[in-house]
Amino acid sequence: MSITITTTYGNAHNVSETNPAHVTSCDRYRLPLVGTIAPGNPGYEDMVEMLRDNGHDTRPDGYGLIFLESEEFSATYFGSIEQIEQYKRDNIDGTATFDPSQGVMYAKWPHGKGWDDFIPRTFWNVQARGALADGVGLVTAFAHTEIPGAEVIVYEFEGKWLPDSEPKQMVTYHCTACHLDTFHDCGHVHENTGPDSRRWAARQARQHIISAHRHGVGDKSSACRPNNGEMLRVVNQVARDMWGTQGNALPDTDDAYCATKGPCSIIRELRAGIRPPVYRA
């Protein structure tokens, strides 16, 4: 089944010919982190093991590093220390480029011993770059293929796993066709620890669209299944019976509830340039 997923916010990405949920690269990247590692640095031997395993450990004096990131992809460049120091000098105004042919490029940012202490936590939305706060804002969005005007939106936000827990930096997606809250779908809300968290949330957003395209909206096999206000009507009826009232305690449609109390309320404020309150506080 052929499907083209159209990006409505952020950069378009290149995907696998056989799986449009699998992003392979991007034409534009940010370079949020630049640094160097050398023998004697904590964890150095563990950090260069990946290079050694691939026959790329060719610089006995150490490596210059550039960490690249897009909304849905990331990569790490290993070059000479001299090249990276020159890049840093040239990049005072933020316009410098570097020649990747002088070193080697690996998909994703490395993890594990040495790396986990070396690489700081990063967010796509950064206050120093004009965001509302670090880790608060839209990341990317895709047009829904089955519902005109609907989108599946990936966003960073502040939320709680439980009402009495501490707020966390999180990332997830939201579909404005079905309005399902990903907190009710295990594994679809992620602690926002770096590019991999955002990549995975975007991949799940793409999978949601593919499922809707394959099975239709509302089908029991589809990930995109609107509740059509069924649970809200049950809650409102119980509330009326308990309190002896005539009105509804909650909005009686999914889109109205989502717009006031759900993910759409977060996204609306993000788009308006307002920092939303902590979700599920």
Span 41-79, pLDDT tens digits: 999 999 999 999 999 999 999 999 999 999 999 999 999
State the burial class of residue 99 (Cβ atoms within 10 Å of its Cβ: 0-12, 13-18, 19+): exposed
Decide which of 55, 89, 118 is a domain's last residue: 118
Domain hosting 160: range is 127-271
Decide which of 82, 98, 118 is a domain's last residue: 118
The residue length of the chain stands at: 281
Q: So what's the pLDDT on residue 117?
A: 95
Q: Give how many domains the chain has, as a whole number.
A: 2
Question: Are residues 165 and 98 part of one domain?
Answer: no
For 179, 180, 256, the CA distances from 261, given in Å and listed in that order, are 11, 12, 9
CA 233 – CA 225 distance, rounded (Å): 17
Span 5-24, pLDDT tens digits: 999 999 999 999 999 999 99
The CA-based dihedral angle spanning residues 273, 275, 279, 281, taken in that order and rounded to the nearest 10 degrees: -160
CA 256 – CA 195 distance, rounded (Å): 32
Percentage of the chain modeled with pLDDT above 90: 82
Question: How do strand 23-26 and strand 13-15 relate by DSSP bridges?
Answer: antiparallel
Question: Are residues 155 and 252 part of one domain?
Answer: yes
Answer for the pair 200, 173: CB distance below 8 angstroms, yes or no: no
For residue 3, tell me if it sits in a domain: no
Q: In the structure, what pLDDT confidence band is assigned to residue 253 with cuts at 50, 70 and 90?
A: low
For residue 279, tell me if it sits in a domain: no
Q: Quick check: 169 pLDDT over 60?
A: yes
**Comparing 52 with 227, which gets the higher pLDDT?**
52
Decide which of 118, 153, 186 is a domain's last residue: 118
Question: Are residues 114 and 79 part of one domain?
Answer: yes
For residue 245, tell me if it sits in a domain: yes
